[in-house]
């Protein structure tokens, strides 16, 4: 199996650890172990009592129950924990698709939602979020793309990098369209809990039995280093993932599952602290953009913690982002990682002071890039 390179990961490899100001990540600010212990009441005794044993294939009972209480109406049989949602996506795609199958996938989008299927020899049909519509999802366009040959539909809402999402009505319509076709649905819910003006969308795998939804500690929870993710769905469907799981990762670490269990049990507290910060940063970003005299245009995100602004006077945002990374120590992800040359992914989940500094440096770089407005 040969998987194409992911330009986003290549960019992160070069700049994530080489910069001090993070204006490019898609998650909220990460928590330290000490902060988590204080905030969630994890004691040293609990950690000392832990044995580095193997864990159950589907995940530790405690973590599965915590996830079930939060997402699957208390049914742990509908929960399969994974190494990040990346493994969940890999398991789902590899198990549900066959070479030659047709898959409709939101575009632009997170790379592994299409790269795994493409590497298997599937036909990828992009459901385009069109720039000229502010990337608003067009359900009529989706309806026209899905047909009897569609084996699987893969989407991610709230969406990375644009921050667009479905309204509650659109969500129902979307599920009706997919369910009407009988296709599998891989619903990437990495940002489900990060919404600003609306409630998070409901769990789709409870509504459609051919849906696998994926989630992660990496984005709203600020715990990407735990590498804990999950997939939710019909137990019969999840069971089909076992052979690949056994060949790939076998089980998760009991240590990271312990932290994840506490985090999920107190998710409202943990997520709301970071979501409030992101909301404040988002307001700052709106003010900053308003002061950029047309050098930056955008569609304000409905969820997630990335915006996808356009720089109309910068023909090559790669160059801008590279300069920011090398000379100003600022991480900003060029839109070329998602198929747009004059845009960048701008993450607003970080600490307020760092975010402000990042915007100042970006403002300076924009003032000297390309023709003046």
Ligand X SMILES: Cc1ncc(COP(=O)(O)O)c(C=O)c1O
Report, in Å, the least distance between residue 324 CB and ligand X.
20
Binding part of the chain for ligand X, among 62-70, 79-87, 274-282, 334-342 by CB under 6 A, reads 79-87
- Residue 151-170 contact track with ligand X, rule CB under 6 A, x = bound: -----x---x----------
Cβ neighbours, 10 Å, residue 293: 10
Q: Hunting for tokens 């602004």 — which residue is that?
A: 309
Position 115 contacts ligand X (CB under 6 A): no
Q: Which is nearer to ligand X, 152 or 365 (CB)?
A: 152
Q: Which is nearer to ligand X, 58 or 338 (CB)?
A: 338
Q: Which two tokens stand for residue 182?
A: 């009988």
Q: Which of 24, 84, 163, 370 binds ligand X (CB under 6 A)?
A: 84
Contact positions with ligand X (CB under 6 A) in 14-33:
26
Report how far residue 327's alpha carbon sits from residue 330's, in angstroms, rounded to the nearest whole number: 8
Binding part of the chain for ligand X, among 52-60, 80-88, 231-239, 333-341 by CB under 6 A, reads 80-88
Q: Which is nearer to ligand X, 19 or 369 (CB)?
A: 19
Binding part of the chain for ligand X, among 78-86, 163-171, 194-202, 247-255 by CB under 6 A, reads 78-86
Q: Which two tokens stand for residue 116?
A: 């795994």
Position 114 contacts ligand X (CB under 6 A): no
Q: Which of 218, 256, 281, 369 binds ligand X (CB under 6 A)?
A: 218
Which of 281, 287, 328 is closest to 306 using CA atoms?
281
Report how far residue 334's alpha carbon sits from residue 341's, in angstroms, rounded to the nearest whole number: 7
Position 93 contacts ligand X (CB under 6 A): no
Binding part of the chain for ligand X, among 51-59, 82-90, 100-108, 279-287 by CB under 6 A, reads 82-90
Contact positions with ligand X (CB under 6 A) in 269-288:
none
Q: Give the residue at shortest CB distance from ligand X.
A: 84
Q: Which residues of 67-83 are buried (b: 16+ CB within 10 A; e: fewer)?
A: bbebbbeeebebbbbbb
Q: Which two tokens stand for residue 284?
A: 């700052």
Residues 6+ apart with CB under 8 A from 287: none
Region class of 84: left (phi > 0), else alpha (psi between -120 and 50), else beta: left
Q: Which is nearer to ligand X, 111 or 262 (CB)?
A: 111
Sequential DSSP letters for 24-55: S-SSPPPPPHHHHHHHHT--HHHHHT------
- Residue 230-269 contact track with ligand X, rule CB under 6 A, x = bound: ----------------------------------------
Helix (H, G, I), strand (E, B) or coil at 9: helix
Q: Side-chain half-sphere of 111: how many Cα atoms within 13 Å?
A: 14
Q: Determine the size of the site formed for ligand X (CB under 6 A).
A: 13
Please tell me what DSSP assigns to residue 346.
Answer: E
| Contact set with ligand X (CB under 6 A) | 26, 84-86, 110, 156, 160, 188, 190, 216, 218, 224, 229
């Amino acid at each position: 199996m040969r998987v194409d390179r992911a330009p986003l990961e290549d960019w992160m490899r070069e700049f994530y650890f080489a910069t001090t100001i993070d204006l490019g990540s898609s998650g909220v600010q990460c928590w330290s172990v000490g902060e988590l212990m204080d905030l969630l009441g994890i004691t040293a005794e609990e950690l000392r009592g832990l044995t580095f044993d193997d864990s159950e294939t589907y995940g530790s009972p405690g973590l599965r129950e915590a996830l079930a209480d939060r997402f699957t109406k208390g049914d742990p049989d509908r929960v399969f924990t994974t190494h990040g949602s990346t493994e969940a996506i890999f398991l789902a795609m590899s198990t549900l698709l066959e070479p030659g199958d047709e898959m409709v996938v939101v575009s632009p989008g997170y790379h592994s939602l299409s790269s795994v299927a493409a590497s298997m020899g599937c036909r990828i049909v992009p459901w385009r979020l069109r720039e000229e519509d502010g990337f608003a999802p067009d359900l009529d366009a989706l309806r026209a793309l899905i047909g009897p040959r569609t084996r699987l539909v893969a989407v991610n809402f709230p969406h990375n990098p644009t921050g667009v999402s479905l309204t509650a009505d659109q969500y129902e319509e979307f599920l009706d369209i997919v369910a009407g076709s009988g296709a599998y649905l891989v619903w990437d819910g990495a940002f489900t809990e990060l919404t600003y003006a609306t409630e998070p969308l409901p769990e789709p795998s409870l509504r459609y039995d051919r849906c696998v939804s994926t989630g992660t500690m990496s984005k709203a929870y600020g715990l990407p280093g735990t590498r804990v993710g999950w997939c939710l769905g019909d137990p019969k469907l999840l069971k089909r993932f076992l052979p690949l799981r056994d060949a790939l990762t076998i089980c998760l670490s009991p240590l990271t599952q312990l932290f994840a269990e506490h985090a999920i049990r107190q998710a409202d507290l943990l997520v709301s602290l970071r979501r409030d910060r992101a909301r404040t940063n988002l307001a700052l970003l709106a003010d900053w953009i308003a002061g950029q005299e047309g050098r930056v245009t955008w569609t304000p995100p409905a969820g997630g913690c990335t915006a996808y602004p356009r720089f109309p006077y910068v023909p090559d945002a790669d160059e801008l982002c590279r300069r920011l990374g090398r000379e100003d120590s600022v991480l900003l992800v060029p839109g070329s990682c998602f198929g747009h040359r004059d845009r960048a992914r701008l993450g607003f989940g970080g600490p307020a002071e760092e975010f402000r500094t990042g915007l100042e440096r970006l403002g300076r770089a924009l003032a000297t890039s390309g023709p003046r407005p």
